[in-house]
Amino acid sequence: MKAHFDFDKHKHELRRIIQDTRAGKMDEEAAVKQLLNPPFRMAGRLEALRMLRVQRAQQG
């Protein structure tokens, strides 16, 4: 699995998920399930790690 997330390649799909959720066409649970599967799964892990680093830096 690639460590680098190609945002440009998947931004249309990600935008569709966000718009469908906001419009009520997709519930939040379904949106989360989609984001937990490839190709978004790795990006989510990297984002979570980044957020943890920021929190630790603020606390430290």
Q: Provide the pLDDT for residue 18.
A: 84
Alpha helix stretches (DSSP H) within the chain: 7-23, 28-35, 40-59
Residue 6, CA distances (Å) to 18, 40, 49, 55 in order: 18, 10, 18, 25
| Domain assignment of residue 27, yes or no | yes
Residue 58 in this model has a pLDDT that exceeds 80: yes
| Domain assignment of residue 16, yes or no | yes
| Domain assignment of residue 31, yes or no | yes
Total number of domains constituting the chain = 1
* Cis ω for the linkage preceding 38 (within 30 of 0): no
Of 53, 43, 48, the C-alpha closest to 14 is: 43
Q: pTM (2 decimals)?
A: 0.49
Q: Provide the pLDDT for residue 1.
A: 46
User: For 5-50, how does the pLDDT look when each residue is reduced to its tens digit (9 = 90+)?
Assistant: 677 777 888 888 889 988 999 888 888 788 777 766 666 667 777 7
| Domain assignment of residue 2, yes or no | no
Boundaries of domain holding 18:
7-59
| Domain assignment of residue 43, yes or no | yes
